Structures are given as C-alpha cells and as structure tokens.
Amino acid sequence: MSMIHKFTGDDHKYTWDNVKENNLNSDGLKGVTKSILIGPNESAPNYIMRYFQINPGGHSSLERHPQEHEVIILLGKGKVQIGKQIHGVTVHDVVFISPNELHQFCNPFDEPFGFICVIPKRT
C-alpha cells in the first residue's frame, strides 16, 4: 500500500510521523539511531529505506555484508571508511558501498550527522 510519512523533525533531529526511532548502542555501535522510513511496514517489495543519525563522537559498526548501500547525506558532516580509505562527507554528498566492502560511518564533529541509506530487501 502506498503511503507518505510526513517530516516532523527540525534542523538538528530528523523524525517522521508514524516512524519509530531505534537506539543502536551495542555491537560496535555508539550514539546511533535508526528509523526505517520505508520497509516491511509499508509492504515495500524490493528495498528498505532507512535514516541513521549519529551523534557527535558516535559511529556505526565497522562491517561488511552482501548487500550494497546507497546513501545520501542530509544533516551535518561526517566521515565514511570504505575499504582502507577514509573520506569526509557533508550534506548532499552521495555514497555507494559495494557488496562485501568494509565500511563504517562516524561523526568526529560537534553536530549531529544524518543520512538516508537504501538497501535491497533480503530474500
């Protein structure tokens, strides 16, 4: 069923109506929240769209897995490690992470860092 989740956030915290925000502060994660914007609850058949926000000093896990990632930065600035290289990213930058590529997002800055990440639905 098609639907719209209206943006309810502000300049420092991105939220949407009827979308749950989950704190992910374990298993190599620090200061990370995840919101599934489009996914199983919307009966999306092929992709999952997620919003991650990383607080200052926080980071995602350093990991690799079979699914690719398509990312667009919406809030602040951060760093992304792809393989052995570390890149600075900021609002409107886009990132493609190939399947099985080692990667991590981190926020060494003083403001929140947020991005949309789209992945294929696991079958």
State the catalytic residues: 117
Query: CA-CA distances (angstroms) from residue 123 to 10, 46, 49, 116, 120?
Result: 35, 9, 16, 21, 9
Rounded-to-integer distance, Cα 72 and Cα 20, Å: 20
Integer Cα distance of 41 and 98 in angstroms: 26
Q: How many CA atoms, within 13 angstroms, populate the side-chain half-sphere of residue 94?
A: 4
